[in-house]
């Protein structure tokens, strides 16, 4: 289920690189795959996955995640799993 899409993004400075269908950067479960916060498809994918895993249903939650990733996430967070852990500890409602 898609809860958050490109049209929901707050920022417009993302790159939109085409990925093959089963590329782990935009498919499957968050894992040790490297994450690039400048790639729009990766950001949208990870926000959707985490919203589904954590049972969040509103796009404004996705916007909070996006803003944290875009503005606050430390540069040493490089894998999808690390992003997931960092967001879980920094996402406040």
Q: For the chain, which residues make up each domain, given as ranges?
A: 6-90
What pLDDT sits at residue 93? 62
Identify the pLDDT of residue 78.
Answer: 96
Instruction: Say if residues 79 and 35 touch (Cβ distance below 8 Å).
Output: yes
Its pTM stands at 0.93
Quote the CA–CA distance of 59 and 82 in Å, as a whole number: 22
pLDDT of res. 16 = 97
DSSP, res 33? S
Q: What is the pLDDT of residues 27-82, one digit of tens each?
A: 999 999 999 999 999 999 999 999 999 998 887 899 999 999 999 999 999 999 99
Q: How far apart are CA 44 and CA 10, in angstroms?
A: 11
pLDDT for the residue numbered 57: 82
If one counts every other C-beta atom within 10 angstroms of the C-beta of residue 54, the result is 13
- Residue 1, pLDDT above cutoff 70: no
């Amino acid at each position: 289920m898609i809860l958050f899409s490109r049209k929901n993004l707050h920022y417009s400075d993302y790159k939109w690189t085409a990925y093959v269908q089963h590329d782990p950067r935009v498919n499957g479960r968050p894992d040790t795959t490297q994450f690039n916060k400048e790639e729009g498809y990766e950001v949208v994918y990870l926000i959707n996955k985490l919203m589904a895993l954590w049972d969040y249903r509103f796009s404004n939650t996705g916007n909070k995640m996006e803003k944290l990733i875009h503005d606050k996430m430390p540069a040493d967070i490089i894998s999808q799993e690390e992003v997931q852990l960092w967001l879980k500890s920094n996402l406040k409602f």
